[in-house]
Amino acid sequence: MKIYLIRHGQTIGDVEDRYGGAYDDELSDKGKIQAHELANRLGNSGIQILFCSPMTRAQQTAKILKTKLSCEIKTIKDLRERNKNGILTGMTRDEAKIKYPKLVEELKDYRSQIQGAESQEDFAKRIKKAFMEITGVSNYSTIAIVTHGMPFWVIFGDILNDNRIINIADCAYAVLNKEDHKFTLDRSDGIDYKKEK
């Protein structure tokens, strides 16, 4: 099985410098262009189905991809982004600094869990379960999963045992292969990795 792991395009919240995560945001004009460009690049990929996060930005990206791929979109609730930012979600960074300065400081520690946030452990468990259920579908040879940045980190780190990612661009993608229940990275585009020592 070939798996295209795809991140959504740029959002309006990115442009407005809002805390993302569980904030249900739409694609910006640039994000829509990015999704169309990706659709053109993947048009001959053989993708048979798009499994997609329920969040608007991922759904919009998937619908644009579908214009070139002509395949079904299946929404998977557990592919949604992590609510890492808790009560700061959806606020601009400037608003949050004024209203919740202590919480903004707490967020600088990646291990912190602020009020209303989903724990990293629960999030990772949810993403791994969804990924394994999706890739357990045996009647497709090539699929795509349209999701968010943080699920990439979980899938790379916990499933591929690859912790080299340092940045995932908008509409970045990775192509994974599954053979004999083992996953390997074939190639990627729009993902920056730590340099090998």
Per-residue pLDDT of the chain (197 residues; tens, 9 = 90+): 999 999 999 999 999 999 988 889 999 999 999 999 999 999 999 999 999 999 999 999 999 999 999 899 999 999 999 998 889 999 999 999 999 999 998 887 766 778 888 998 999 999 999 999 999 977 899 999 999 999 999 999 999 999 999 999 999 999 999 999 999 999 999 999 998 76
Domain covering 2-82+119-193 in this structure, CATH number: 3.40.50.1240
* pTM of the complete model beyond 0.75: yes
Q: Is 187 exposed, middle or buried (0-12, 13-18, 19+ CB in 10 A)?
A: exposed
Q: Which single residue is written with the structure tokens 């989903």?
A: 118
Where do the structural domains in the chain lie, given as residue ranges? Answer: 2-82+119-193
Q: Are 97 and 127 in contact (CB under 8 A)?
A: no
